Structure 1
Amino acid sequence: MNTRLIGVLMDNLGSAVFASVMALPVIVFLLASEVATVSLVVWAVIAFSLAVYRYWLISVYRLQYDSYEGPQRQLFADRYGWTWGASGLIWGGVTLLVYLQASASSQFVCGLLILGQGIVSLGSFSSYLPALKSYLSSLTASTALGIVVNLGLNDWAYVYWHQTVALLILLGIFWHLTYKMGVRLNAVHRSSFELQFSNEELIESLTQQTRASLRAVAAKNRFLASAAHDLRQPVHALSLYADWLVTEPEMAQDIAPRMLQSTRAINELFDSLFDLTRIDAGNYKVHLQSVDVPKLFEELVTQFAPVAANKSLRLRTHSRSRSIWADPVVLRRILGNLVSNALKHTSKGGVLVGLRQREASLVFEVWDTGVGIAHEHQMAIFQEFFRVSQHQGTEDSLGLGLTIVSKLTTLMGYQLAVSSQEGRGSVFRVMLPAYTQSVAAPDPVMPEVVLSSEFGVLE
């Protein structure tokens, strides 16, 4: 904040220097025949030199410091801040030349000029209170000093003591009121910058939200386009089979299984789309309860054993005799999608589903001896409708199974990881936090020998 206020100070400082330069010839002309010439010339030279020096400082600031908002500006203010107090001393020193030395009219005009310099300082220095305080204090102190010194040198001092006291009191009031006004103006400057910062943050937030909305719309458009593409294929096939059945009803025995396959593909796509929609909308309800792991694995084997047998693959499980705290529907959906994905991309060997204890967490693992996943695709496989080109099994894949797995694991607070080598297979790991565990009976650890010999070493 201070660095920006220093910037405002330097932007406004030119007007104060200009005002002092304009007042300088007026004072010289006014006092040329009323005060000592040497004293007037010395004062004028010092005042003019300081004004030139301050103009030079403004140019230095704009060339070297204006583009920075960090400690460089503060360093500049600390290094050259003495010029503000020096300027106040010079202009207050006019009193030493004129008080009780010049005519009453000249004293009055000079007093107005000094007052004007103090008022001009409000607009120039109020943005940075140290500068305002330094200038006002120096101006008031040198003015008071000039009054007191001249009063002491005057033979008729006792005549003017009451007006001198009044002037000193007015000087104190002038300093107090001017500084208080400067404090209020400084508060206005600060409020203006705080409002500007708030507006910038609001604009940045709106910009980010707009970009996020545009990205979401683009992603949704890609999602719908991919969904429409995948839906069109089985629907078109179903239409062809229906036309074929109308023209050749005797082929019903051959056509019916194909129609059933297309119908299942459509149902699978709609189920996946509905799952994704519910998860994204926050409407996917989670119901935690005790889940028996061996029973869960039995259900998975019952569901996918025909698929594995149809491809001559081995589907094995390795369960620990324990129960865990989880949502059985969500957990079955996660593991089921991983097993389904493994079977689709495996042509020989088999798939192993297991549970092992790793430090404070439980880890479900799904191993396969399939085609594997290239390193550059291992993050992209969790995107909607992503399918690795030329991978065996991807032609019938919807590209949504792993997306649902990723979203469901995030929903449950699980961690999902994948390790894979092309041509050797893959292993997907779902890591459950400690709170999901309940009392467990000790069981043998999942045998590493079996994994190494049958499913490849992927770790």
Structure 2
Amino acid sequence: MLVDTQPATHQPVPASPEVREQWVESQLIGVLMDSAMRTLGIALVGMPVMVYLLWGEVSDVALLIWVACAIGVLLYRYRIIGVYRLLFDSVEGPSRIVFINRYKWTWAAVGVFWGATIGLTFREASLPTQYFCLLLVLGHGLMSLSSFTAYMPILKVYVNSLVLSMLAGLIVALAENWGDGTNTRLILSMVLLLAVYWYMLLSAGVRLYEVHRASYELQFSNQELIDSLTQQTRASLRAVATKNRFLSSAAHDLRQPVHALSLYADWLATEPEMARDISPRILQSTRAINELFDSLFDLTRIDAGNYKVRLQNVDVQQLFTDLVMQFEPVAAAKNLKLRSRSPELTVWSDPVVLRRILGNLVSNALRHTQNGGVLISARRRDDLLMFEVWDTGVGIARQHQQAIFQEFFRVSQHQGTEDSLGLGLTIVSKLATLMGYQLALNSEEGRGSVFRVILPAFTQGPPREALPSIPNPMNGKKPT
């Protein structure tokens, strides 16, 4: 089982400009579609008024064609509104943009049909009828400022279609009345006024659109800030909970050796003749206190980023010899065998960090082993160099194999581990992450464990010779 030793991060990731743009666009489309039914209702009210004004003054066939086309487009738009509310009203993002681009032409069609009434009236209708129809069409265009400015592409499509169809009607009327000075000047004046109207309508629409857009961009930024603050608050609460657990566990672990040290000191004060028996116990308690403080200081320095790595050539055989010499008394006290196997090998690493990693693994193995022994070995597999610490101890149940790398974690049912401070494997995990190493663990409850520190090729420096395979010390069977 490969153990992930990378620390969990909960930093909020800012949204990309593409995500921000898509969210804002989808919200603006939502505002547009929310007003779609209202604009449809206004069109349904305005169409009978237009028919009433034009009835009897223009060609019946032309008027009926106009009415049929307008009703067809309005019914189709009613269907589109239903599709949007059914499929896209509760969905945000690119799907809304795809939807609006697919049906954008319907707004253009509505603009064309309303603008086409100018061509109908100028050809045949009376002047009062032309006047009222023009007011109705221009008013319909002004209403677009409140209905379509939420989404600029639709506003431009509608206004351009409306004004261009009106201009087309005026140009046809101008061609038919060319030579009639009064009508020509009137139509040219209307063309000029319509161009001004077109410009003012688009200018006002752009300003209103920018207001809509700025509002949703601000809403997105506020939501992003809220999410960031929420994550930071949760991270702070987790940090406080971790710190409280850290201090509580440290105080608990520190209390035991300090209390024992106090009892031994009182005992020594009252019975000085027992110094030979009491001194080893005082020494044991002092070592336990020093071990705890060393572990706490290591964790603090690593978490604060103050742990300085100094890379140099490390003689692996000498390192193993030093580790065996350091822990041999501990193994002898428990009648355990402590062995090491490694060919002549030099790696590029920090000797202090590497020794700390392997030393904590050896210490952990000896602490949880009652019979048999512990083996420190090194070997290669492809381009990977692996340091291994084997033991024939109590093993680790699968449900605990991730948790053992947490601060102060101890498996309560393990016997003979009362002196464990629960920090050794945490330091191993953090130092391995610091060096770019990987940790792997294989363990079988009741049969033993093997911890592997894997040095990828880029962390080793040039290898000097291949490493032979190392036999399994655990009765010839490797734990699974």
TM > 0.5: yes
Q: Following the alignment from structure 2 to structure 1, what is the Cα–Cα distance between the partners of residues 414 and 456?
A: 33
Distance 1:357 1:54, change over 3 A: closer
Is there any run of 5+ residues in structure 2 with no aligned partner, and where? 1-21
Provide the residue aligned with 1:132 in structure 2: 155
Deviations 1:328-347 (A, max 9, x none): 11111111111111111112
Name the TM-score, length of structure 1 as normaliser: 0.87
Residue type of the alignment partner of 2:266: D
Provide the residue aligned with 2:389 in structure 1: 366
Answer yes or no: is the 8 Å Cα contact 1:100–1:151 preserved in 2. Answer: no
Q: Following the alignment from structure 1 to structure 2, what is the Cα–Cα distance between the partners of residues 223 and 364?
A: 30
Provide the residue aligned with 1:402 in structure 2: 425
For the residue of structure 2 that corresponds to 1:340, the secondary structure is helix
Distance 1:354 1:45, change over 3 A: closer
Is residue 161 from structure 1 mapped to residue 184 from structure 2 by the alignment? yes
Structure 1 residue 128, shift from structure 2 partner: 3.1
Return 292-301 or 137-146, whichever deviates more.
Answer: 137-146
Match of 1:390 among 413, 420, 423: 413
Is residue 426 from structure 1 mapped to residue 449 from structure 2 by the alignment? yes
Is residue 458 from structure 1 mapped to residue 479 from structure 2 by the alignment? yes
Answer yes or no: is the 8 Å Cα contact 1:349–1:454 preserved in 2. Answer: no
Q: Following the alignment from structure 1 to structure 2, what is the Cα–Cα distance between the partners of residues 446 and 100?
A: 100
Answer yes or no: is the 8 Å Cα contact 2:378–2:470 preserved in 1. Answer: no
Answer yes or no: is the 8 Å Cα contact 1:425–1:455 preserved in 2. Answer: no
Which one scores higher on RCO, CA 8 angstroms, separation ≥ 6? 2
Cα root mean square deviation, aligned? 3.1
Q: Following the alignment from structure 1 to structure 2, what is the Cα–Cα distance between the partners of residues 453 and 44?
A: 92
Is residue 380 from structure 1 mapped to residue 403 from structure 2 by the alignment? yes
Deviations 1:296-316 (A, max 9, x none): 112112111111111111111
Is residue 58 from structure 1 mapped to residue 84 from structure 2 by the alignment? no
Return 53-62 or 235-244, whichever deviates more.
Answer: 53-62
Match of 2:319 among 291, 296, 301: 296
Answer yes or no: is the 8 Å Cα contact 2:341–2:470 preserved in 1. Answer: no
Identity %: 60
Q: Following the alignment from structure 1 to structure 2, what is the Cα–Cα distance between the partners of residues 47 and 293?
A: 88
For the residue of structure 2 that corresponds to 1:282, the secondary structure is coil
Provide the residue aligned with 1:7 in structure 2: 30
- In the comparison of the two structures, how many residue pairs are matched? 457
Distance 1:235 1:200, change over 3 A: same
Residue type of the alignment partner of 2:449: S
Answer yes or no: is the 8 Å Cα contact 1:419–1:428 preserved in 2. Answer: yes
Q: Following the alignment from structure 1 to structure 2, what is the Cα–Cα distance between the partners of residues 125 and 441?
A: 74
Q: Following the alignment from structure 1 to structure 2, what is the Cα–Cα distance between the partners of residues 71 and 281?
A: 43
Q: Following the alignment from structure 2 to structure 1, what is the Cα–Cα distance between the partners of residues 350 and 175?
A: 96
Provide the residue aligned with 1:328 in structure 2: 351
Name the TM-score, length of structure 2 as normaliser: 0.84
Is residue 179 from structure 1 mapped to residue 202 from structure 2 by the alignment? yes
Q: Following the alignment from structure 2 to structure 1, what is the Cα–Cα distance between the partners of residues 137 and 376?
A: 91
Answer yes or no: is the 8 Å Cα contact 1:315–1:351 preserved in 2. Answer: yes
Residue type of the alignment partner of 1:310: A
Deviations 1:253-277 (A, max 9, x none): 3323222222221111111111111
For the residue of structure 1 that corresponds to 2:314, the secondary structure is strand
Residue type of the alignment partner of 1:457: K
Distance 1:81 1:327, change over 3 A: closer
Distance 1:94 1:447, change over 3 A: closer
Provide the residue aligned with 2:308 in structure 1: 285
Deviations 1:379-408 (A, max 9, x none): 111111111122233211111111111111
Residue type of the alignment partner of 1:143: M
Provide the residue aligned with 2:296 in structure 1: 273
Q: Following the alignment from structure 2 to structure 1, what is the Cα–Cα distance between the partners of residues 352 and 95?
A: 61
